[in-house]
Amino acid sequence: MNFQKTYNIPIFIPHEGCPHTCIFCNQTKITGVQTRVTCADVRKIISDRLSYLPKNGCRIEAAFFGGSFTGLDLELQEKFLKTASEFSDRLDGIRMSTRPDYINKDVLTLAKKYNVRTIELGMQSSDNEVLRLNERGHRFEDTAAAAALISEYKISLGVQVMVGMYGSTPEKDVLTAADAARLNPECARIYPTLTLCGTKLDDLYRQGRYTPYDMETALTVTDKMMRIFEERGIETIRVGLHSDESLTGGDGICAGPYHPAFRELVLSRRERNRIEAEILRLDLKNCVYKAHVPCDMVSVTIGHKRCNAEYFKRKYNIILKTVSS
């Protein structure tokens, strides 16, 4: 069946199943969920969302995010999966995110039984020293082994990687994307590291031992990582954290390259660089530049709040216009 759009129904289980808290993580802030989720909550979340999602022509999945799903007791995993499967006439599958070291044959057998379509592994980095410094409690070898086992069970793989973790560098981040791509995932999520108030990373930041990437570096590195995924046909389904009041409020993010439209900024910068290379090649200035772009590229070409148009005007006295095809 050819689906036009995929909808995830997110069910956040903040920190559930996690053996400890990684130094950058505060899932209650990231997800905005403060209480423990029950089966009744799962049922209500799915049913509420299904009531206004289209009935045909799209893929709908229930998605357990925000913790380490396969770190829950097997019994509780089964209860949640069984509850989600009550909606199997409307759901096309289930997806979940988890830690690489919590993948084994028991959890995959259970996942298969309940039509789990995708497992997203929070690999974060392929550099073992970065993983150690961030107190992840697993190594890249665990991610590679988990990816292989997931593929043996014919479940689709997603990878979640981070940009600018404590102890990382732009080079290590780009290498992480290349290593992640070699695991043959179907999709990827890229999260720039944000310093959340009250985390160990926040302490390191306040002690001057951690410097977050500035926005320019984060955009450049993320762009390189996205390109690596694109070249391998891996869809980057998310770039940057979603905007939530608990994250953007006073005691949410205290440092780091946050922007509610981070993905758009990355793509806008890519377009700016492409057009600027041409402007320099043709030695253009004081003119109108017409960029021929597809309709869906108009806004990223002009840039968020017209930032690219203003950049070219300021730097080259060039008026940027788009001609959409």
List C-alpha distances in Å: 277 to 224, 315, 325: 17, 13, 22
Find the binding residues for ligand SF4 in span 52-71 (CB under 6 A).
67-68
- The answer to whether 164 contacts ligand SF4 (rule: CB under 6 A) is no
Binding mask 217-256 for ligand SF4 (x = CB under 6 A): ----------------------------------------
Tell me which stretch binds ligand SF4 (CB under 6 A): 14-22, 148-156, 180-188, 214-222.
14-22
Place of tokens 């992640």: 180
User: How many chain residues are in contact with ligand SF4, going by CB under 6 A?
Assistant: 10
Q: Smallest Cα–Cα separation from 184: which of 106, 263, 96, 121?
A: 121
Find the binding residues for ligand SF4 in span 86-125 (CB under 6 A).
99, 122
Closer to ligand SF4 by CB, 61 or 101: give it. 101
Binding mask 16-35 for ligand SF4 (x = CB under 6 A): --x--xx--x-x--------
Among residues 9, 12, 13, 15, the one that binds ligand SF4 under rule CB under 6 A: 15
Contact 113, 84 (CB under 8 A): no
Q: Smallest Cα–Cα separation from 261: which of 307, 199, 324?
A: 307
Least spacing, CB of residue 21 vs ligand SF4, in Å: 5
235-239 and 93-98 strand pairing: unpaired
d(CA 98, CA 288): 50
Closer to ligand SF4 by CB, 123 or 265: give it. 123
Q: Which amino acid is at 227?
A: R
d(CA 263, CA 300): 10
Closer to ligand SF4 by CB, 194 or 318: give it. 194
For the four alpha carbons of 207, 211, 215 and 216, in that order, the dihedral sign comes to positive
* Tally of CB atoms within 10 A around 3: 12
Contacting residues toward ligand SF4, per CB under 6 A: 15, 18, 21-22, 25, 27, 67-68, 99, 122
